[in-house]
Structure 1
Amino acid sequence: MPNYKNIYTNLIRKKFPDREDILELMNKKTLTSLDIIQIDRQLHSPSEIKDVYSINQKFRSYDKNAILQILDHQKKHNYTNTLVAKEFGLSRNTIGKWKKIFLV
Protein backbone atom coordinates (compact mmCIF):
# COMPACT_ATOMS: atom_id res chain seq x y z
CA MET A 1 0.00 0.00 0.00
CA PRO A 2 1.42 3.42 -0.90
CA ASN A 3 2.41 5.77 1.88
CA TYR A 4 -0.27 8.40 1.22
CA LYS A 5 0.79 10.43 4.19
CA ASN A 6 4.22 11.12 2.68
CA ILE A 7 2.84 11.60 -0.82
CA TYR A 8 0.20 14.14 0.19
CA THR A 9 2.49 15.92 2.67
CA ASN A 10 5.05 16.50 -0.08
CA LEU A 11 2.34 17.50 -2.56
CA ILE A 12 0.84 20.05 -0.17
CA ARG A 13 4.21 21.53 0.75
CA LYS A 14 5.30 21.91 -2.88
CA LYS A 15 2.11 22.84 -4.73
CA PHE A 16 -0.18 24.17 -2.00
CA PRO A 17 2.03 25.80 0.68
CA ASP A 18 -0.85 28.03 1.81
CA ARG A 19 -3.06 25.03 2.65
CA GLU A 20 -1.70 24.20 6.11
CA ASP A 21 -5.25 23.32 7.24
CA ILE A 22 -5.07 20.12 5.21
CA LEU A 23 -1.84 19.10 6.91
CA GLU A 24 -3.78 19.13 10.17
CA LEU A 25 -6.17 16.56 8.65
CA MET A 26 -3.21 14.33 8.02
CA ASN A 27 -2.13 14.17 11.67
CA LYS A 28 -3.81 10.79 12.04
CA LYS A 29 -1.53 7.83 12.55
CA THR A 30 -2.96 6.05 9.51
CA LEU A 31 -5.08 7.49 6.74
CA THR A 32 -8.07 5.58 5.43
CA SER A 33 -9.11 5.65 1.80
CA LEU A 34 -11.97 7.98 2.73
CA ASP A 35 -9.48 10.36 4.36
CA ILE A 36 -7.50 10.38 1.12
CA ILE A 37 -10.64 11.14 -0.90
CA GLN A 38 -11.54 13.98 1.47
CA ILE A 39 -8.03 15.47 1.28
CA ASP A 40 -8.08 15.20 -2.50
CA ARG A 41 -11.45 16.96 -2.68
CA GLN A 42 -10.18 19.81 -0.53
CA LEU A 43 -7.05 20.28 -2.63
CA HIS A 44 -8.72 20.43 -6.03
CA SER A 45 -11.67 22.32 -7.49
CA PRO A 46 -14.86 20.36 -8.33
CA SER A 47 -14.19 20.51 -12.08
CA GLU A 48 -10.65 19.13 -11.61
CA ILE A 49 -11.98 16.34 -9.40
CA LYS A 50 -14.62 15.37 -11.94
CA ASP A 51 -12.01 15.13 -14.70
CA VAL A 52 -9.53 13.17 -12.60
CA TYR A 53 -12.14 10.77 -11.20
CA SER A 54 -13.60 10.03 -14.61
CA ILE A 55 -10.13 9.16 -15.93
CA ASN A 56 -8.99 7.14 -12.89
CA GLN A 57 -12.30 5.47 -12.01
CA LYS A 58 -11.16 2.02 -13.05
CA PHE A 59 -8.04 2.21 -10.87
CA ARG A 60 -9.76 2.96 -7.56
CA SER A 61 -10.36 0.32 -4.96
CA TYR A 62 -11.83 0.33 -1.48
CA ASP A 63 -11.04 -1.80 1.53
CA LYS A 64 -13.74 -3.27 3.75
CA ASN A 65 -13.41 -0.47 6.30
CA ALA A 66 -13.93 2.23 3.64
CA ILE A 67 -16.93 0.41 2.20
CA LEU A 68 -18.53 0.15 5.64
CA GLN A 69 -17.87 3.85 6.26
CA ILE A 70 -19.55 4.75 2.96
CA LEU A 71 -22.55 2.57 3.80
CA ASP A 72 -22.70 4.08 7.28
CA HIS A 73 -22.60 7.56 5.75
CA GLN A 74 -25.54 6.55 3.55
CA LYS A 75 -27.52 5.27 6.51
CA LYS A 76 -26.71 8.28 8.73
CA HIS A 77 -27.82 10.81 6.11
CA ASN A 78 -30.68 8.66 4.80
CA TYR A 79 -29.32 8.82 1.23
CA THR A 80 -30.40 6.67 -1.69
CA ASN A 81 -27.88 4.57 -3.57
CA THR A 82 -27.89 7.19 -6.33
CA LEU A 83 -27.02 10.07 -4.00
CA VAL A 84 -24.19 8.17 -2.32
CA ALA A 85 -22.85 7.04 -5.68
CA LYS A 86 -22.84 10.60 -6.96
CA GLU A 87 -21.16 11.94 -3.82
CA PHE A 88 -18.34 9.39 -3.90
CA GLY A 89 -18.04 9.02 -7.68
CA LEU A 90 -19.22 5.42 -7.76
CA SER A 91 -21.84 3.43 -9.60
CA ARG A 92 -25.19 3.03 -7.87
CA ASN A 93 -24.95 -0.65 -8.74
CA THR A 94 -21.69 -0.82 -6.80
CA ILE A 95 -23.42 0.62 -3.74
CA GLY A 96 -26.21 -1.94 -4.11
CA LYS A 97 -23.72 -4.77 -4.45
CA TRP A 98 -21.85 -3.64 -1.35
CA LYS A 99 -25.11 -3.52 0.60
CA LYS A 100 -25.91 -7.08 -0.41
CA ILE A 101 -22.45 -8.32 0.54
CA PHE A 102 -21.84 -6.42 3.78
CA LEU A 103 -25.28 -5.64 5.21
CA VAL A 104 -27.14 -8.91 4.73
Structure 2
Amino acid sequence: MKSGGANYKAIYTDMIQEKFPEKMVLVKNLLDREKVSILDAIKINEILFPNKSADEERLTQKHKSYYEDDILKILEYQRVNKLNNIQIATKFKMSRNTIAKWKKQFNDVKDQQDSEDD
Protein backbone atom coordinates (compact mmCIF):
# COMPACT_ATOMS: atom_id res chain seq x y z
CA MET A 1 0.00 0.00 0.00
CA LYS A 2 1.26 3.41 -0.89
CA SER A 3 1.16 6.18 1.69
CA GLY A 4 1.74 9.77 0.66
CA GLY A 5 1.02 10.93 4.19
CA ALA A 6 2.44 13.69 6.28
CA ASN A 7 6.13 13.69 7.14
CA TYR A 8 5.63 13.52 10.91
CA LYS A 9 9.36 13.21 11.49
CA ALA A 10 10.08 16.61 9.89
CA ILE A 11 7.01 18.27 11.39
CA TYR A 12 7.74 17.19 14.97
CA THR A 13 11.50 17.70 14.70
CA ASP A 14 11.02 21.31 13.59
CA MET A 15 8.35 21.97 16.22
CA ILE A 16 10.41 20.49 19.05
CA GLN A 17 13.57 22.36 18.06
CA GLU A 18 11.64 25.61 17.90
CA LYS A 19 9.25 25.37 20.86
CA PHE A 20 10.21 22.41 23.10
CA PRO A 21 13.98 21.79 22.85
CA GLU A 22 14.01 20.41 26.42
CA LYS A 23 11.61 17.61 25.40
CA MET A 24 13.75 16.35 22.50
CA VAL A 25 15.38 13.75 24.74
CA LEU A 26 11.92 12.34 25.62
CA VAL A 27 10.90 11.73 22.00
CA LYS A 28 14.29 11.10 20.39
CA ASN A 29 13.78 7.32 20.13
CA LEU A 30 10.47 7.87 18.28
CA LEU A 31 11.94 10.47 15.92
CA ASP A 32 15.04 8.37 15.18
CA ARG A 33 12.92 5.82 13.32
CA GLU A 34 13.12 5.75 9.54
CA LYS A 35 9.42 6.54 9.23
CA VAL A 36 7.28 8.03 12.00
CA SER A 37 3.81 6.46 11.84
CA ILE A 38 0.53 7.97 12.99
CA LEU A 39 0.79 5.88 16.16
CA ASP A 40 4.23 7.36 16.86
CA ALA A 41 2.86 10.84 16.14
CA ILE A 42 0.08 10.32 18.67
CA LYS A 43 2.62 9.23 21.32
CA ILE A 44 4.81 12.27 20.58
CA ASN A 45 1.81 14.56 20.79
CA GLU A 46 0.85 13.11 24.19
CA ILE A 47 4.40 13.74 25.45
CA LEU A 48 4.50 17.32 24.16
CA PHE A 49 0.98 18.27 25.26
CA PRO A 50 0.14 16.15 28.32
CA ASN A 51 -2.59 18.29 29.88
CA LYS A 52 -5.12 19.14 27.20
CA SER A 53 -8.52 20.27 28.39
CA ALA A 54 -11.65 18.45 27.22
CA ASP A 55 -12.59 21.44 25.02
CA GLU A 56 -9.18 21.47 23.34
CA GLU A 57 -9.41 17.71 22.77
CA ARG A 58 -12.82 18.04 21.15
CA LEU A 59 -11.67 20.88 18.90
CA THR A 60 -8.58 19.07 17.63
CA GLN A 61 -10.46 15.79 17.26
CA LYS A 62 -12.74 17.36 14.64
CA HIS A 63 -9.76 18.01 12.37
CA LYS A 64 -8.03 14.62 12.43
CA SER A 65 -7.75 12.61 9.26
CA TYR A 66 -6.14 9.24 8.67
CA TYR A 67 -4.57 7.58 5.65
CA GLU A 68 -5.53 4.02 4.79
CA ASP A 69 -2.20 2.68 6.12
CA ASP A 70 -2.83 4.44 9.44
CA ILE A 71 -6.35 3.04 9.72
CA LEU A 72 -5.08 -0.46 9.03
CA LYS A 73 -2.38 -0.06 11.71
CA ILE A 74 -5.00 1.04 14.25
CA LEU A 75 -7.25 -1.90 13.35
CA GLU A 76 -4.27 -4.26 13.55
CA TYR A 77 -3.39 -2.81 16.98
CA GLN A 78 -6.96 -3.53 18.06
CA ARG A 79 -6.78 -7.12 16.80
CA VAL A 80 -3.36 -7.88 18.32
CA ASN A 81 -4.28 -6.40 21.70
CA LYS A 82 -7.78 -7.93 21.63
CA LEU A 83 -9.52 -4.62 22.29
CA ASN A 84 -13.18 -3.92 21.61
CA ASN A 85 -14.35 -0.85 19.68
CA ILE A 86 -14.91 1.20 22.84
CA GLN A 87 -11.42 0.45 24.18
CA ILE A 88 -9.63 1.27 20.92
CA ALA A 89 -11.74 4.41 20.45
CA THR A 90 -10.85 5.58 23.96
CA LYS A 91 -7.14 4.89 23.44
CA PHE A 92 -7.00 6.90 20.22
CA LYS A 93 -9.57 9.50 21.33
CA MET A 94 -12.05 8.92 18.56
CA SER A 95 -15.62 7.80 18.11
CA ARG A 96 -16.46 4.12 18.47
CA ASN A 97 -18.69 4.65 15.44
CA THR A 98 -15.61 5.64 13.44
CA ILE A 99 -13.91 2.39 14.43
CA ALA A 100 -17.02 0.38 13.48
CA LYS A 101 -17.21 2.18 10.12
CA TRP A 102 -13.53 1.49 9.40
CA LYS A 103 -13.90 -2.19 10.31
CA LYS A 104 -16.91 -2.55 8.02
CA GLN A 105 -15.28 -0.59 5.21
CA PHE A 106 -11.94 -2.40 5.31
CA ASN A 107 -13.45 -5.85 5.85
CA ASP A 108 -15.63 -5.26 2.76
CA VAL A 109 -12.55 -4.25 0.74
CA LYS A 110 -10.62 -7.27 2.04
CA ASP A 111 -13.53 -9.60 1.17
CA GLN A 112 -13.64 -8.17 -2.37
CA GLN A 113 -9.89 -8.66 -2.81
CA ASP A 114 -10.16 -12.24 -1.54
CA SER A 115 -12.97 -13.03 -3.99
CA GLU A 116 -10.97 -11.53 -6.88
CA ASP A 117 -7.99 -13.73 -5.97
CA ASP A 118 -10.11 -16.90 -6.29
Structure 2 length-normalised TM: 0.74
Aligned to 1:37: 42
Aligned to 1:22: 27
Paired-residue identity, % = 38
1:67/1:98 contact within 8 Å kept: yes
The AA in structure 2 aligned to 1:67 is I
**Alpha-carbon distance between aligned partners in 2 of 1:60 and 1:23, rounded to the nearest angstrom:** 24
Task: In structure 1, list runs of 5 or more residues that go unmatched.
Answer: none
**Alpha-carbon distance between aligned partners in 1 of 2:6 and 2:66, rounded to the nearest angstrom:** 14
1:5/1:31 contact within 8 Å kept: yes
Change (3 A) 1:3 1:77: closer
1:74/1:80 contact within 8 Å kept: yes
Change (3 A) 1:57 1:15: same
- RMSD (Å) for aligned C-alpha atoms: 2.0
Structure 1 length-normalised TM: 0.82
Deviation at 1:78, TM superposition (A): 1.1
Structure with greater contact order relative to length (CA < 8 Å, sep ≥ 6): 2
Change (3 A) 1:50 1:35: farther
Aligned to 2:16: 12
Aligned to 1:73: 77
1:41/1:49 contact within 8 Å kept: no
1:4/1:36 contact within 8 Å kept: yes
Q: Secondary structure at the match of 1:75?
A: helix
The AA in structure 1 aligned to 2:13 is T
